[in-house]
Amino acid sequence: MAKTRGAFVYEETDSGFQKLHPITRTVFMLCAIATTFCIQHPVILAVLYAVVLGVAIYAKMSKKLFLVYIAVIGIGALISFISWLPFGGDVGGDVYFETGKWFGISIAFSNVGFMWAVTMGLRILCSSLPIFLYLSSTRLRDMTIGFCGIGVPFTVGELFVLAFRFVPLVQNDAAIITEAQRARGLDFEQGGVKAKAQKYSAILAPMIFMSLRRIQLVANALDTKGFRNKLHKHRFYKKPACKPIDYALIGICLLIFALALTARILGWMVLVPGRL
């Protein structure tokens, strides 16, 4: 029988980051993402990325998840850089090379365009890493505590966490169905691309029906427990208390975001006014 997998991608470590209150980790993630989109200058953005990367290393982020981050987000950042680089004429600066217009679009390279392309690539890297770090170092229950601690309604936070709870369950269903189909003589390794795609449909269809059945069961369970009762204020049976270090780190995160937002409003270190 297939072995049930763990809760999504969380890996318990002895790092100080995991010992922080869930609210602190949630505020760090949200402030890091928001600060990223307040900054346009690539040098300052690179400093912010170095700080977030240092926190990820200190937190002993999951190596498997970090490899996924490098493979997926790294390629996305590179594509973003290459996509923005030829349109330097639209953002101004000293244009080094420009072609004629075809269908109203011209290819141009400029110093500001190069910096803007670097910024867009770094934004993808810097805004995604806090999310990967948060998922790697925070239990699903702690996510609910963290979001409720910053004012998000419990129903919203719990529904957000339920989406992640389905991931290991779907993985487990896929393993069970795959073993069952192999026991019936279905070989997924033989045949071409078209034949393999048809064979994998024998896994996809049962997974869809099992997921729909589980959704109905979860909905009934939530209704039975009064999940939609607006008069009931949810209280956690056991919730960690904030320590002085948590208050200090939350204050630092909010201060950095406030400084970045103020600098953006005042137009400091802005490459292209009018753009995010």
Helix pair angle (22-36, 140-149), 10° resolution: 70
40 neighbors 169 (Cβ within 8 angstroms): no
56 with 129, same domain? yes
Are residue 138 and residue 170 in the same domain, yes or no? Answer: no
Domain shared by 170 and 253, yes or no: no
Token pair for residue 175?
A: 């393993």
Q: Are residues 37 and 144 in the same domain?
A: yes
In a domain, 210, yes or no: yes
- Structural domain containing residue 215: 154-224
Whole-prediction pTM value? 0.80
pLDDT tens string, the chain, 276 residues long: the values are 334 344 457 888 888 899 999 999 999 999 999 999 999 999 999 999 999 999 999 999 988 888 889 999 999 999 999 988 887 767 766 776 666 666 566 677 888 889 999 999 999 999 999 999 998 899 888 998 999 889 888 888 877 788 777 777 777 888 888 888 888 887 777 777 777 777 777 888 888 888 888 888 877 877 777 766 565 566 777 788 899 999 999 999 999 999 999 999 998 888 888 788
pLDDT at position 5 is: 44
**118 and 209 inside one domain:** no
Question: Is there a single domain that holds both residue 136 and residue 211?
Answer: no
Query: pLDDT at position 254, please?
Result: 96
Give the pLDDT score at 41.
93
Say if residue 142 is in the same domain as residue 174. Answer: no
Residues 137, 194: one domain? no
Task: Provide DSSP, 76-94.
Answer: HHHHHHHHHTTBGGGT-S-
Q: How many domains does the chain have?
A: 2
Together in a domain, 99 and 159 = no
In a domain, 213, yes or no: yes
Q: Identify whether 73 is part of a domain.
A: yes
Q: Is residue 212 part of a domain?
A: yes
Is 138 inside a domain boundary? yes
36 and 69 together in one domain = yes
| Residue 166 in tokens | 């389905």
Does 63 map to a domain?
yes
Largest Cα–Cα separation, the chain:
68
The Cα–Cα gap between 276 and 264 comes to: 10
Residue 76 in any domain: the answer is yes
Amino acid at 188: F
Q: How far is it, in rounded angstroms, from Cα 140 to Cα 184?
A: 36
Q: Which of 213, 207, 222, 210 is nearest to 161 (CA)?
A: 222
Query: Distance between alpha carbon 161 and the CA centroid of its chain, in Å?
Result: 13
**Same domain as 216, residue 140:** no
> What is the model's pLDDT at position 6?
42
In-domain check, residue 271:
no
Predicted pLDDT at 271: 85
Residues 254 and 181 in one domain: no
3-class secondary structure, 96: strand
